[in-house]
Amino acid sequence: MAEINDGDVPYLNDHPYSPSVVGVDSTDSVALQQTDLMNTLQAAMLLRGEIRCRLSKKFSCGYEIRPILWFSKKTPEIEATLKALGLTWKETFVRTEDIAKLCHAFQDFFNLSTKADGLKMVERLNGALPQPLDYEEVEESLALIERCSESLNTQSPSDESRTGERT
């Protein structure tokens, strides 16, 4: 039975009712969900990330050091996923807000990418790694990157004990 409150029908036959699916066959809805999932998974597999460290005349310190994300190729599925996130295709994503959106959307799928460790580094350092202005800040940034990298690559105690047994 439907409950009607001021023209609103929150429950239909004791199930939550969503007006967004009115007139849509449930099989079409499932197919759409599967398409969205497939688009997301394909985008996750093609997502790449790293901390860019390179010489640059653009910055006063002489180096560009920042997190970046990119997709290894452009596909309609990736464009659809980006559109759903409120983003448009770019060769590289460098804005903190764009990186945050992409990391939030794909963090559960980072291991599907061949650059999973790079993606994890980008997620950790996005917003925490400012572009250095002088040589001292370059050294601080590189130390921060190294600490983050080491934390991602630490062995568990059980791994260390196994390596000790082999020698």
- 90-109: pLDDT as tens digits: 999 999 999 999 999 999 99
What pLDDT score does 158 carry?
52
40-152 is classed CATH 3.10.28: yes
pTM, full prediction: 0.70
SS3 content of the chain, % helix, strand, coil (to 5): 55, 15, 30
Strands 11-12 and 15-16: antiparallel
What pLDDT score does 38 carry?
86
- 37-70: pLDDT as tens digits: 888 888 999 999 999 999 999 988 899 999 999 9
Q: Environment class of residue 25 by beta-carbon count within 10 Å: exposed (0-12), middle (13-18) or buried (19+)?
A: exposed
- 145-161: pLDDT as tens digits: 999 888 877 655 555 54
Would you tell me how many other CB atoms lie within 10 Å of the CB of residue 73? Answer: 7
Cα–Cα distance for residue pair 111/157, rounded to 1 Å: 22
Cα–Cα distance for residue pair 104/86, rounded to 1 Å: 13
Of the chain, the percentage scoring pLDDT greater than 70 comes to 72
4: confidence class by pLDDT, cuts 50, 70, 90: very low
Q: Would the pLDDT of 21 be above 80?
A: no
What pLDDT score does 22 carry?
45
